[in-house]
Amino acid sequence: MELVWHAAVSGAVLGLVYALVSLGLSLIWGVMDVVNLAHAEYLMLAMYATYWLWALGKVDPLAAVPVVVPVFFGFGWLTYQLLVRRIVRAPVAAQIFATFGLLFVLRYAAFAAFGPNVYGVWRLGEGTVSVLGVPVATSKAAAGVVSLAAFLGLSAFLRFTKAGKALQAAAQSREVALSLGIPVDRMYALSWGIGIASVALAGALLIPFYQVSPTIGDAFLLVAFASVVLGGFGRVDGALVGGLCIGLLENLLGTLLSPTLKLLFVFAVFVLMLLVRPQGLLGEPGR
């Protein structure tokens, strides 16, 4: 029983980071109905960035956050301006293929730059903190706390600031928002900035306990999609609920059944969810 409790707590902590990974995907999907297949590649690049800051500059991963996050905000903004704005109103197939091509470029750019090797941040003698009676590595606990803070911050931004409300308006209806004088194009760019910044934050939080390689995006892309579909896409709370569920599911089933099969269960639940309730746990029915 204690084993299960331990698995649940560390699963929840991991789930918070998963939630942060899927937040950007969900936000961009919800705001402009574009599914970014390259989403997890930004995670991979942010993990590399944080790793190299640590390896070459001796910068602690948490201390790197103020550098990495703004840079990736710019990266997301730029991606929108150079590529995504041209496909916002293109057929679904063109959108899928454009971000699919982007996935290739980013992934193999990392391959060319860093090679196929696995890199990780090693810190000897890292302490633990007690979370609900379970010892959790400090870096993991910090990742959970920062993720939660990021969620609260984004929710507050969307709810209480003018830009946040404008973003929601643009998500509801492009035409109505335009006619009200909301610069929809800028709102879209903003959502890409925020979306990519948040996944970069997740990358910086993950690197102390998760190794990076160029193909790491595969697993994370599916985990992020699973979270988004589970919680209901286009919703901040949906990403949080979905991420937590996926983290819990992965850790509990991995502990109880077999660790090698844990991702299998995640994807199986994801496919089942697509079939049974494609609008997600929190989403409203309808196409």
Partner 1 sequence: MRRAAAWLLPAAVVAVPLWVRDSFFLNAMIHVFLFGAAAQAWNLLGGYAGQISFGHAAFFGIGAYATAWLLSHHGLSPWAGLWVGAALAACASLLVGYPTFRLRRHFFALATLALAEIVRISFLNWEVVGAATGLYLPLGYRNRFEFLMWDAKAPYYWTALTAFALATGVVWVVDRHRAGRYLRAVEQDEDAAEMLGIPTRRYKLYAMGLSAALTALCGGLYALYVLYIDPYNVMASRISLLVVVIALIGGRGTVWGPVLGAPFVVLLNEYTRAWLGGAGSGADFILFGLVVVLLSLYQPRGLVGLLAKPARPVPVAVAGAGAEAPEPPPTAPREEVVLEIRDVRKSFGGVQAVRGVDLSVRRGEILGLVGPNGAGKSTLFDCLTGFVRPDAGSARLRGRPLLGLAPHRVAWAGLGRTFQAIRVFPELSVWDNVLCGAEHRGESLWEATAGEAPRAVQDRATALLRFFGLWEARDRPAGELSYGQQKLLSLAMVVLREPEVVLLDEPAAGVNPVLVEEMGRHLRALNAAGLTFVVIEHNMEFVMRTCHRVAFMAEGQVVTAGRPEEVQRDPRVLELYYGR
Residues that bind partner 1 (CB under 8 A): 35, 83, 86-87, 90, 92-94, 96-98, 100-112, 115-116, 214-215, 218-219, 221-222, 225-226, 229, 258, 260-261, 263-264, 267-268, 270-271, 274-275, 278, 287
Query: Least distance from C-beta 33 to partner 1, angstroms?
Result: 9
Q: Which residue has the tokens 């929809």?
A: 184
Query: 249 near 269, Cβ under 8 Å?
Result: yes
Nearer to partner 1, 67 or 268 (CB): 268
Q: Which amino acid is present at 163? A: A
Q: How far is the CB of 37 from partner 1 (least distance, A)?
A: 8
* Minimal distance, residue 74 CB to partner 1, in Å: 20
Q: Crossing angle for the helix pair 138-160 and 61-82, nearest 10 degrees?
A: 40
H-run or E-run covering 137: strand 134-137
Angle at 69 between CA 90 and CA 208, to 5 degrees: 115
- Distance CA(139)–CA(94), nearest Å, equals 40
CB of 104 to partner 1, least distance (A): 3
Which of 58/287 has CB closer to partner 1?
A: 287
The minimum distance between CB 279 and partner 1, in angstroms, equals: 10
Smallest separation (angstroms) from partner 1 to the CB of 105:
4
- The H-or-E segment that residue 131 falls in is strand 128-131
Q: Based on CB atoms, which residue is closest to partner 1, 111 or 122?
A: 111
Tokens encoding 117: 């090797």
147 phi and psi angles, rounded to 5 deg = -60, -45
Degrees, nearest 5: CA angle 18-262-1: 95
Nearer to partner 1 (CB atom), residue 121 or residue 253:
253
- Residue among 145 and 222 whose Cβ is closer to partner 1: 222
Helices (H), the chain: 2-32, 39-57, 61-82, 92-114, 138-160, 162-172, 174-179, 184-206, 217-231, 236-256, 262-276
State the minimum distance, in angstroms, from the CB of residue 248 to partner 1: 19
What gap in Å lies between CA 14 and CA 227, rounded to an integer? Answer: 12
Q: Which is nearer to partner 1, 97 or 209 (CB)?
A: 97
Residue closer to partner 1 (CB basis): 107 or 174: 107
